[in-house]
Amino acid sequence: MSCGCEHEHEHDENIPEFAKVGQKVPAFELEAFDPAEGGFCEVDLGVLRAEGKWAILFFYPADFTFVCPTELADLAERHAELVKLGAEVISVSTDTKFTHMAWKNDERLLADVTFKMAADPTGEVSRFFDVWDYDTGLALRGTFVINPEGVLVSSEVNFYNVGRNADELLRKMEANSYLKDHPEQACPAKWTPGGKTLTPGKDLVGKVYEALND
């Protein structure tokens, strides 16, 4: 990571070798193409954290491929809703920022993409999030949600041939956002905003059905 995390990893035992759910993610920086501005920029996780934003990292194998543009187009459809929840959406691949720009300009499926497209050509960030494929030098389809405190709260990794669903990402983001303000509660399966939640404790043991159906 361009913040010098590799150097820090050698000297700070508190920084994990890989990102793990429930643990804090060290701040890092990546160069990116910004479709909204039409130019290049820098993605800085430390700045996002200081601004109190959630970070959604959306790793994919490569530009100018086949499933990837369908995923980014799907993500673009939910981008505005994710932003309303306080999230910065960042797609990441091992391509350069220049390739990102060329792909965005060529591929019609990406017409509505406005989130930043980060470049990880060395694969350092992909390795940290454990999506790096050593056989191909590409990143698997990994989605990671980091809360405003820098803690990784959600992780999903798919192989190359299965595309993701941004509707489920939005649902998980809605749940995590709700739980940030209601940490004593928990969201059951298929929870959506307005649905019943659970409050773990001795009175709930063996009584989940009653809690959800009273």
- Taking only the tens place, the pLDDT of each residue in 147-157 is 999 999 999 99
Catalytic residue among 3, 5, 41, 68: 68
- Taking only the tens place, the pLDDT of each residue in 96-138 is 999 999 999 999 999 999 999 999 999 999 999 999 999 999 9
Whether 49 and 43 have beta carbons less than 8 Å apart is answered as no
Q: Share the mean pLDDT of the chain.
A: 93
Q: What is the CA radius of gyration of the chain?
A: 18
Q: What percent of the chain has pLDDT over 90?
A: 92
* Structure tokens that stand for 83 in this block: 């932003």
Alpha-carbon separation of residue 34 from 57, 113, 115, 140 (angstroms): 15, 10, 7, 22
Residue 71 dihedral angles phi and psi, to the nearest 5°: -65, -45
Alpha-carbon separation of residue 136 from 98, 125, 140, 193, 202 (angstroms): 21, 16, 10, 40, 49
Residue with tokens 């995923």: 71
Determine the pLDDT at residue 132: 97
Please state, as a whole number, how many other Cβ atoms lie within 10 Å of the Cβ of residue 159: 9
3-class state of residue 105 by DSSP: helix
Kindly indicate the confidence band of residue 5, based on its pLDDT and cuts at 50, 70 and 90: very low
Whether 133 and 118 have beta carbons less than 8 Å apart is answered as no
**Residues 197, 179: Cα–Cα separation, whole Å:** 10
State yes or no: is 68 an active-site residue: yes
pTM: 0.92
Identify which has the larger pLDDT, 212 or 11. 212
Is the pLDDT score of 6 beyond 90?
A: no
CATH superfamily, with its number, for domain 5-164: Glutaredoxin (3.40.30.10)
3-class state of residue 212 by DSSP: helix
* Structure tokens that stand for 87 in this block: 């999230």
